[in-house]
Amino acid sequence: MSAAGSAGMQGPLAGIKVVDLSAVVSGPMCAGLLADQGAQVVKVESQQGDLTRIIGPAKGDISALFAAINRGKRGIVLDLKQPSALAVLRALLADADVLIENFRPGAMARLGLSYDEVAAFNPRIVYLSISGFGQTGPYAAGRVYDPVIQAVAGMADAHPDPKSGEPQLLQTLMCDKLTALTAAQAVTAALLARERQGAGSGRGQKIELAMLDAAVNFLWPEACFNHAFQDEPPPVAMEFGANQRLWRCADGWLALITPQNDEFAAMCRVFGRPEMGSDPRFASIPARRQHNQLIRDTLEPIAAQRGVDALMTELLAAGVPAGRVNTKAALASDPQVMHNALLHDTAYPGLGRLRTPRAAAQFIGLPWDADRRAPHLGEHSRELLVELGHDEAEIEALIASGAVR
């Protein structure tokens, strides 16, 4: 098996077969997480390829974004408008454990691949449908990308510009990625439920996941806590994070957070103002929130005279929760990132080395395989067709017709 398909050789999901029909980020990242945990994932793409192949820095058909969320998969290109390509897909699905799709609602049914239709020939399938807003409803038919969900889910309002108070979009694909995390957990839960019915005899099920639903669930606990109590009069608190700002030092920035009294007192000692730790104006979380600006006005000039490294050393020694603000360029040289062996370089033949983080969850005793690549467009089409039992003449005919690339 090629390096791109080396996933599934070890890991807790070894032996689980996933057919990834999804595109862009939410579905592919979900499938990528399953591949990281040992699943054998086949990525099915159109002739044009996944949009993320051309987003951001790229060499050939491999972009940094595509590589990070599609590593360890094998790739095949199918023109699903052609019956012969649909037949190949059905063959892939016949013994698959998981199907992942994020087409617009109704698209799979138009292909003859609704959950009921797939479950008719593979009742064990766990069928994940990711949508933007849901399978039905006033917004369901619209095209959706991450910024749209950020807006509708309240994410932009929850991260306002600190000066103007105007809503802001996060400059990351937050909603896509948290949907992927939610999806991967739901798939593994469904696989567990299937196995509990009886190994080899359990039925799968359909999972529907809307990005809107995932985003609101993610945002709600603290960002929307002032909208939880529904009976009058509801208790109201300062918006969570309203006072959270970084601290400027002489040569960089720090994050500090001291919710507990002993932490606040320790911070004051490090800053040379121990008397603030016993000041009644700062004796509790509500009191410190009320007088936050006074705290900042007093301590910010002191921080501005200190170097980040020296101040960090003192704060950590005193038990104060603190962290250096790493630039993206400097992240790889952070001592803890290096200690965790978090970032790995993968060699792509003809393209050079490409850096990605290893899977966040480590299964002790199972070493991380840094050689797992993302597939080139259609890289494993022939290999997969051979595994499905096609002879060379049949493969050449599928390629000549454009059904397979």
pLDDT tens readout for residues 202-244: 999 999 999 999 999 999 999 999 999 999 999 988 898 888 9
What is residue 6's predicted lDDT score, i.e. its pLDDT? 43
| Percent of the residues in the chain that have a pLDDT greater than 70, as a whole number | 98
Mean pLDDT score of the chain: 95
What is residue 4's predicted lDDT score, i.e. its pLDDT? 53
Q: Give the confidence band of 368 by pLDDT, cuts at 50, 70, 90.
A: very high
What value does the mean pLDDT take over residues 108-134? 98
What pTM did the predictor assign?
0.94
Residues identified as active-site: 176
Using one digit for the tens of pLDDT, what is the confidence trace for 64-84? 999 999 999 999 999 999 999
Using one digit for the tens of pLDDT, what is the confidence trace for 306-363? 999 999 999 999 999 999 999 999 999 999 999 999 999 999 999 999 999 999 999 9
Sort 86 into a burial class: Cβ within 10 Å, 0-12 / 13-18 / 19+: middle
What is residue 243's predicted lDDT score, i.e. its pLDDT? 87
Question: Do 175 and 153 touch, CB atoms closer than 8 A?
Answer: yes
Residue 2 has pLDDT above 50, yes or no: no
| C-alpha distances out from residue 37 to 2, 51, 327, Å | 18, 25, 29
What is residue 52's predicted lDDT score, i.e. its pLDDT? 98
Specify the DSSP class assigned to residue 78: B
What is residue 200's predicted lDDT score, i.e. its pLDDT? 82
Distance CA 243, CA 162 (A): 10
- In this predicted structure, which of 4-13, 96-105, 287-296 has the lowest mean pLDDT? 4-13
What is residue 198's predicted lDDT score, i.e. its pLDDT? 87
What is residue 242's predicted lDDT score, i.e. its pLDDT? 86
For helices 308-317 and 261-270, angle between their N-to-C axes, nearest 10 degrees: 140
**Which domains does the chain possess?**
3-220+340-401 (3.40.50.10540), 247-324 (3.30.1540.10)
What is residue 257's predicted lDDT score, i.e. its pLDDT? 95
Q: Give the confidence band of 9 by pLDDT, cuts at 50, 70, 90.
A: low
Q: Give the confidence band of 300 by pLDDT, cuts at 50, 70, 90.
A: very high
Residue 5 has pLDDT above 80, yes or no: no
Q: Look up residue 57 and give its two tokens.
A: 């820095």
Distance CA 72, CA 2 (A): 9
CA neighbor of 377 nearest in space, from 151, 49, 88, 149: 49
What is residue 40's predicted lDDT score, i.e. its pLDDT? 98
DSSP 80-111: TTSHHHHHHHHHHHHT-SEEEE-PPTTHHHHT
| Percent of the residues in the chain that have a pLDDT greater than 90, as a whole number | 94
Residue 127, strand partner residues? 99, 206
Residue 7 has pLDDT above 70, yes or no: no
